[in-house]
Amino acid sequence: MAAAAAAAAATPGTHAAGRRLSARVAGRRALRGSSVCREQQRNLDDLISRLPDDLLGAVISLLPTKDGARTQILSRRWRPLWRSSAAPLNLSTDHRLCADIRELVAFVRKILSDHPGPTRRLSLRHLCPLVRFGVIEGWLRSESLANLQELEFAYAWSACACYPLPPSALPFAPTLRVAKFGSCRFPEFTAETPSPKFPHLKQLTMRLVRISEDSLHSMLSSCTVLESLSLDRNSGIARLCINSPTLRCFSFSAPWDKQDIITCQELLIQDVPCLERLLLHDSRNGPATIRIIRAPKMEILGLLSQGTPTFHPGTTLLQKMIHVSLTTKMHKMKILVLDTIGPNLDAVVDLLNCFPYLEKLYVILHPHEDMYYVRKYVPLDPVECLELRLKKVVLRNYDGNQRPVINFAKFFVLNAKVLKEMEIGVVNSCNNKWMCFQRKRLRVEHRASRDAQIELKRDTKKSFKCHGFSKADPFDMSSY
């Protein structure tokens, strides 16, 4: 009886202790459960770390140099990758890496000594004379730069000096796919010291480079798979001849001259069967003559201006873009950009006859140049693109106080039969009343294409900015 009573008396305390223990166990289980959940969540959030080293290395290689180095602090999984061969080095010596020259030199030397290679991209831009020539040569001789695919080399531009391209930059030619050179002087390529071969080079850019005509031609002939070529304000070239079975896009601008002397006399597109784009930046500086012998796939041409007094598409001669002898048609041309043609409608219509499949026309008007009154459209001698193809016309520098300019614009309003869009950039100070009056003068209500949207707007842009090779229409400013 006493034992039973004692057991009964002890029961409440025992039960309380049991409940406390159960609660503690349950709490620990819940804690372990929440830790497991957090760990599972982390695993789910970090699925990218489960990728193989080669894929993670490819991701790192696409990052800027500083960001690629920072991946080392993400986790133990990421720490060794940036300095491994799994992540080809992407090294750029721009201001984002370091602004101080001495620290920059030390950083580059450290990176090149620690990374085993290979290197995907090396960008040495805006190099100033404070970085000694021997230091740059030492960088370029680093074993970690093996199999380099992209090279960008440019000194800081100087009007007083043009420093030589380091000889150690040329041995990368066999593996390069992209090469960009700027503000440097190329060596002379001769029969004894020929240009290196570039068997894999697809993109070549040269800007403010000093190179002889023969050396450039020798270099281009060594690029057997070249697709994109950009030559911008390079000196030493009086006549440029382009022959390439693979080239698709070519942009060119002649060097500036303080005395307005055209130094590049001729650009010859001799045999480029795959060429789709010929972009001439600021062609008022030349070349003096453009000849297009064979480019059957060309779709985009511009800017043509009075800086190019002679233009030959095939056997067609366009002399000062005023008188045209029509014997050749380019059936693939879709986009044409003209500068300083202005109100000379005769020249423009003769050009349009060369391009029967033209879809977009951009024209920069210069009202202060010599004016030409327009000719009447002759239905018995139709311009094919006006009848069937031309869908967009953009005019810059429209002066609504100049009758020849009004007549020039009105010609397209009244004769482009499938026009969808016409944009007229007005230079005048104007209000809504003035705009309505201009629409009446342009006879918008009598437009040939009832679907055409004709817009006049105040526009301070004096020219068309080319957006390179990536856009379908590099002169389209609608998204800017």
pLDDT tens-digit profile of 243-284? 999 999 999 988 876 666 667 888 999 999 999 999 988 766
Using 50, 70 and 90 to split pLDDT, how confident is the model at 2?
very low
pLDDT-based confidence at 299, cuts 50/70/90? very high
> In this model, does residue 21 exceed pLDDT 50?
no
CB-CB contact of 179 with 219 (8 Å): no
- Does the pLDDT value for residue 25 go beyond 60? no
| pLDDT tens digit sequence for 90-107 | 999 877 777 778 888 888
> Looking at residue 80, what is its pLDDT?
92
Residue 196: pLDDT band (50, 70, 90) is very high
Residue 321 or residue 291, greater confidence: 291
- Tell me the pLDDT band of 326, cut-offs 50, 70 and 90: very low
Task: Give the model's confidence band at 419: pLDDT under 50 very low, under 70 low, under 90 confident, else very high.
Answer: very high
Q: What is the pLDDT of residues 56-86, one digit of tens each?
A: 999 999 999 989 999 998 888 899 999 999 9
**Average pLDDT along the chain:** 82
The confidence score (pLDDT) of residue 429 equals 84
Does residue 42 register a pLDDT over 60? no
Q: Per-residue pLDDT for 38 more than 50?
A: yes
Q: Is the pLDDT of residue 474 over 90?
A: no
Question: Given a cut of 80, is residue 461 above it in pLDDT?
Answer: no
- Who contacts 164 (Cβ-Cβ below 8 Å, separation ≥6)? 184, 185, 187
Higher-pLDDT residue of 199 and 132 is 199
